[in-house]
Structure 1
Amino acid sequence: MINRRAATRALSAAAVTGTALLDALEGWLQPASADGKPRRRGRLGERDLDALEATTRAFRTWDHQYGGGLRRKAVLGQLSEVAAALDEHQRDPIERRLHGVMAQLSGSAATMAWDAGQQRRAQDYYRVALRAAHAAGDTHFGANVLAGMARQMLYVNHPQDALELVRLAQDGVRTSAGPRLRAMLHTREAWAYAAMGRHAAFHRATRHAEDALSSAAGVEEPYWIHYFDTAELAGVTGGRLLDLARTDPHEHAAAASQEIRAALAQRGPDASRSHALDWIGLAECSFLLGDVTGAAESTHHAVSAAARTQSGRVRQQLAHLYPYTVGRDVPGPVREARDKIRDLLAR
């Protein structure tokens, strides 16, 4: 299905890494310079911006639930319209809000491209999002963009770059971020440590995330970080423990299973993409623990959940699960699960 090392090499080649990436982002905390280019007079008003922001919010909700798919074309079309509006001379408050809309649309486009495996295109949109957040004066969303770029680096096996990006994000919001944003950044930090084999640092960063999230009740934060709750923390932690369990299943597989089950119990099928990823992770935990019956059952749930989302990442993770189901003497339920995976991936 997919050779993991070959896929990692291909993705890494498609994305900018190292100094070429990091040095270009160092200035994100400096004040934005004025744009003196001549422009036409703009005609947008507050009501227009209200509608644009509502649309942008809907796009982010779609992406979080289902993955990009056909909705990415709608996001790119809206992004083009906003860019055209910024070519006009808008009033200062309108222009700042327009930059904020562009940041969030570009962030959604980046996540959708990344989910589809288009690494370089995702990186380009992340850069646009960071520049737009900078122009809008929105350091919190800028930190969120850097966290997305860090996640991308982790998927292409560059954990040191990911850690640098997370630290750059944390530097920008250290005294102003709310508890959910702080917790999310700590989980990206923990992810990088896990990928580097730094187990103690991983557990320390995870505790920081738990401590930050424990104070989130009643704190007002931007809508785009509301998804990060105890279910998301459990799912992310379980996924990182699963990463560790692939090299040491006796030490980490049971803990990974426990965290993923907690995520499944809390967020349910409405979070389509995350729900599918949880079931895939739980199936792999069961295979690593030697629980063949549980693995087959979880794989059936995973395929059913995957069929309800357009996420390329979900299908890639299913392909990584497939080798566990291959073998001459596998039980009938595992063979059935294997056939379901094959049928879904062949569509």
Structure 2
Amino acid sequence: MVAGNGDLRALVEEAGLTRREIARWVNVVAERRGQHLGCTHTSVARWLDGAQPRWPIPDLLAEVLGRKLGYELTVSDLGLRDRRPPAADPFDGLSVARTVSDIRRAVVELTGRDMNRRNFLLGSTFGAAAFSSPALFWSTASGAEPEPVQHTGSDRVREADVERIRQTVAMFRKLDRAQGGADLRDTVVNHLNKIAADKLTGSYGEDVGRGLFRAVAELTELAGWLSFDSGRHALAQRYHIQALRLAQAADDRAYGAYVMANMACQAVYLGHGWEAVQLARAAQQGARGSLSHRARALVLAMEARGHAAMHNERACSEALRAAERSLEASDGDDDPGWCQYFDKAELAHEFAHCHRDLGMPHATQRHAHEAIGIRADGYTRRCAQDTTFMAAAHLVERELDQACAKADEALDIASRLNSSQCNDFLRAFRTQLKPYAGERVVREFSERAEELYAGMAV
């Protein structure tokens, strides 16, 4: 009995090729593909004896023997394992969907990859420039005639279905503000995938369809926001881009401006102040007067953040004051649900955030204290952030006791959350504490933080 690869031996014998001839033809085919292998008759002997050749040699062997024998062979026909590398995935999620049909497919593909690949895009980085093309496409669209969105599918979609999506989004947003996005993200992505696959591909006319696209835009943006709060920035960026395109298909320029504002928020968070300003300004221009006073205040606040990140105090102050005037002019009657959270407490938080980035500790403390004092219940993440801002402001003033006391409060609040944003702010504060590591109050705080966040990267 002959040991080794019996399938390969039988095919070589049938082809009538010597070992030297097989090696020569494998090298020839490889050269045609732009590869140099240097196979020899000794290499072929090892394969016949049962050795598994490296890729792409199995594929080359199948081609060489198949041509000689006159019929197609697969790698498995040769008794070899198919170890070809996975094909590159052409879907990147950053491209703008050109048609309504394309955006339907894009949302299903993005959520499907996110659900089925645990580490999908985990090693990818955020690129602020990737927002430019979607933002330009959205802001320069003529808008004279809305895109037709009606569709014929298996199941009829009704207004009640759309309303359920809106209610679900409102529920998820409330949970996000109270407990952070990391624990909620996968649930929302799974729900979005089902909605996109079942509802967007169902049957509906223009009116229901436009409402459906608007509701799915909100759900998609929420998936982006939760990915952002989970530290998955490359993934968040892709959800934001798809949400913007869905808002455009829905002919809802105001909501598109809100998505752009959240793009700006993510950009400035990752250190791209100039890009954040441009996104916020494009949001205001592209909205074409469709923003309510409250929604405009929200977008202006994101512009202010961008100016603060660039240490442009004058431009930041102008944007903040404009946001303040716009919020004061709001009566709430014309506000869509997605911006109703932006109240005086939220604006005070934005003032604190900006003054922190401008290096103005007294103003930071004043505005953060105001935000905490007037904020309604249920905004746990914001309370944690504002308390951390106050701690950092005390530290700038070298008030170690007050800084560590506030940081203790922030730790206690953040322990009720799973939020990458809160963890990042606390991590930054602990880094700033390092020059004072020898002080007793700092050692005690650091010990409490280590104990509380044991096993967490904070």
**How high is the TM-score relative to the length of structure 1?**
0.89
Aligned pair 1:24/2:138, yes or no?
no
Show the counterpart of 1:43.
156
Are the aligned partners of 2:149 and 2:209 in contact in 1 as well (CA < 8 Å)? no
Show the counterpart of 1:75.
188
2:147 aligns with one of 15, 33, 52: 33
Aligned pair 1:208/2:322, yes or no?
yes
Shift in Å, 1:39: 4.3
Show the counterpart of 1:308.
416
Show the counterpart of 1:6.
none
Shift in Å, 1:322: 0.8
Are the aligned partners of 1:315 and 1:345 in contact in 2 as well (CA < 8 Å)? no
Show the counterpart of 1:52.
165
Structure holding more helix per residue: 1
* 3-state secondary structure, aligned to 1:14: coil
Aligned pair 1:232/2:343, yes or no?
no
2:412 partner letter? S
Shift in Å, 1:12: 12
2:448 aligns with one of 337, 340, 347: 340
Shift in Å, 1:263: 0.7
Shift in Å, 1:268: 5.5
Aligned pair 1:189/2:303, yes or no?
yes
Instruction: Quickly say closer, same or farther: Cα 1:213–1:63, change in 2 above 3 A.
Output: same
Show the counterpart of 1:330.
439
1:279 aligns with one of 357, 379, 387: 387
* 3-state secondary structure, aligned to 1:137: coil
Distance in 2 (alpha carbons) for counterparts of 1:94 and 1:81: 18
Distance in 1 (alpha carbons) for counterparts of 2:323 and 2:153: 47
Distance in 1 (alpha carbons) for counterparts of 2:447 and 2:260: 39
Shift in Å, 1:111: 0.5
Show the counterpart of 1:97.
211
* 3-state secondary structure, aligned to 1:305: helix
Compute the RMSD of aligned alpha carbons: 2.1
Show the counterpart of 2:403.
295
Aligned pair 1:265/2:379, yes or no?
no
Shift in Å, 1:203: 0.9
2:245 partner letter? R
Distance in 2 (alpha carbons) for counterparts of 1:328 and 1:120: 35
Are the aligned partners of 1:41 and 1:90 in contact in 2 as well (CA < 8 Å)? no
Show the counterpart of 1:65.
178
Instruction: Quickly say closer, same or farther: Cα 1:219–1:201, change in 2 above 3 A.
Output: same
Distance in 2 (alpha carbons) for counterparts of 1:46 and 1:328: 60
1:123 partner letter? Q
Distance in 2 (alpha carbons) for counterparts of 1:258 and 1:35: 49
Show the counterpart of 2:429.
321
Show the counterpart of 1:7.
none
Distance in 1 (alpha carbons) for counterparts of 2:437 and 2:133: 51
Are the aligned partners of 1:322 and 1:341 in contact in 2 as well (CA < 8 Å)? no
Q: Deviations over 1:29-82 (max 9, x none)?
A: 42353469x842432222222222211211122223322122212211221122
Q: Deviations over 1:293-336 (max 9, x none)?
A: 2112101100000001111111111111113433343133x322
Q: Deviations over 1:194-252 (max 9, x none)?
A: 1122111111111111111111234330111111111111111111111111xxxxxx1
Q: Deviations over 1:267-289 (max 9, x none)?
A: 15521100100111110011111
Show the counterpart of 2:222.
108
1:16 partner letter? G
Distance in 1 (alpha carbons) for counterparts of 2:252 and 2:437: 56
Structure with greater contact order relative to length (CA < 8 Å, sep ≥ 6)? 1
Distance in 2 (alpha carbons) for counterparts of 1:51 and 1:218: 23
- Comparing 21-30 with 114-123, which one deviates more in the overlay? 21-30
Are the aligned partners of 1:12 and 1:156 in contact in 2 as well (CA < 8 Å)? no
Report the number of matched residues: 328
Show the counterpart of 2:294.
180
Are the aligned partners of 2:149 and 2:249 in contact in 1 as well (CA < 8 Å)? no
1:25 partner letter? A
Are the aligned partners of 1:147 and 1:166 in contact in 2 as well (CA < 8 Å)? yes
Distance in 1 (alpha carbons) for counterparts of 2:297 and 2:131: 25
Distance in 2 (alpha carbons) for counterparts of 1:322 and 1:177: 40
Gaps of 5+ in 2: 1-121
Show the counterpart of 2:264.
150
Instruction: Quickly say closer, same or farther: Cα 1:13–1:194, change in 2 above 3 A.
Output: farther
Gaps of 5+ in 1: 1-10, 246-251
Instruction: Quickly say closer, same or farther: Cα 1:290–1:174, change in 2 above 3 A.
Output: farther
Distance in 2 (alpha carbons) for counterparts of 1:159 and 1:328: 32
Instruction: Quickly say closer, same or farther: Cα 1:328–1:222, change in 2 above 3 A.
Output: closer
1:21 partner letter? F
1:88 partner letter? G
Distance in 2 (alpha carbons) for counterparts of 1:92 and 1:52: 18
Distance in 2 (alpha carbons) for counterparts of 1:133 and 1:310: 29
Distance in 1 (alpha carbons) for counterparts of 2:363 and 2:343: 19
Kindly, what percent of the aligned residue pairs are identical?
29
Distance in 2 (alpha carbons) for counterparts of 1:343 and 1:146: 39
Distance in 2 (alpha carbons) for counterparts of 1:200 and 1:145: 26
Greater than 3 Å deviation, 4+ residue runs: 31-36, 324-329
